[in-house]
Structure 1
Amino acid sequence: MAKSKVSMEIINPNAAGIDVGSRSHFVAINQNKDDVKEFGVYSKDLNNLAKWLIESNIKTVAMESTGSYWQNLYTELEQQGIEVVLVNGKFTKNIQGKKTDVLDCIWIQKLHTLGLLRGSFLPDHHTEQLRTLCRHRHNLIHNAAKSVKRMSQNLRLMNLRLDVVVNDIVGLTGLKIIDQVCNGETDAHKLAAL
Structure 2
Amino acid sequence: MEVLHERCAGMDISKRDVKVCIRVPGAPGGRYRNEVTTFGSMTDQILALRTFLLEQRVTLVVMESTGDYWKPFYYLLEDAPFEVMLVNPRHVKGLPGRKRDVSDAQWLADLAAHGLVRGSLVPPPPIRVLRDLTRTHADLTRDRAREYNRLQSVLEDAGIKLTSVATRINGVSCRLMLEALVVDHRPG
TM-score, reference length from structure 1: 0.83
Q: Contact (CA 8 Å) 2:98, 2:107: kept in 1 or not?
A: no
RMSD: 1.8
Aligned mate of 1:18, from 6, 11, 18: 11
What are the ranges of 5 or more consecutive residues in structure 2 without an aligned counterpart? 24-31
Paired residue for 1:39? 39
Q: Counterpart of 1:26 in structure 2: which amino acid?
A: K
> What do the CA deviations read for 1:43-62 (whole angstroms, capped 9, x no partner)?
11111111111111112101
> C-alpha separation between the residues in 2 aligned to 1:44 and 1:135?
29
Q: Secondary structure at the match of 2:184?
A: coil
> What do the CA deviations read for 1:87-128 (whole angstroms, capped 9, x no partner)?
1112323731236xxx22111111101111110111222222
Percent identity of paired positions between Structure 1 and Structure 2 = 30
Paired residue for 1:163? 163
Q: How does 1:35-184 map to 2 (within 5 A)?
A: 35-93=35-93, 95-98=98-101, 103-184=103-184
Q: Secondary structure at the match of 2:122?
A: coil
Q: Contact (CA 8 Å) 2:18, 2:40: kept in 1 or not?
A: yes
Deviation of the 1:10 alpha carbon: 1.2
Q: Secondary structure at the match of 1:115?
A: coil
1:185–1:173: structure 2 CA closer, same or farther, 3 Å change rule?
farther
Q: Counterpart of 1:76 in structure 2: which amino acid?
A: L
> C-alpha separation between the residues in 1 aligned to 2:153 and 2:62?
52
Q: Tell me which moved more, 163-172 or 35-44.
A: 163-172
> C-alpha separation between the residues in 2 aligned to 1:105 and 1:167?
58
Paired residue for 1:189? none
Q: Secondary structure at the match of 1:62?
A: strand
Q: Counterpart of 2:121 in structure 1: which amino acid?
A: F
Q: Would you tell me which structure has more strand in proportion to its own residues?
A: 2
Deviation of the 1:185 alpha carbon: 5.7
Q: Counterpart of 2:39 in structure 1: which amino acid?
A: F
Q: Secondary structure at the match of 1:44?
A: helix
What is the number of residues matched between the two proteins? 175
Structure with higher Rg: it is 1
TM-score, reference length from structure 2: 0.85
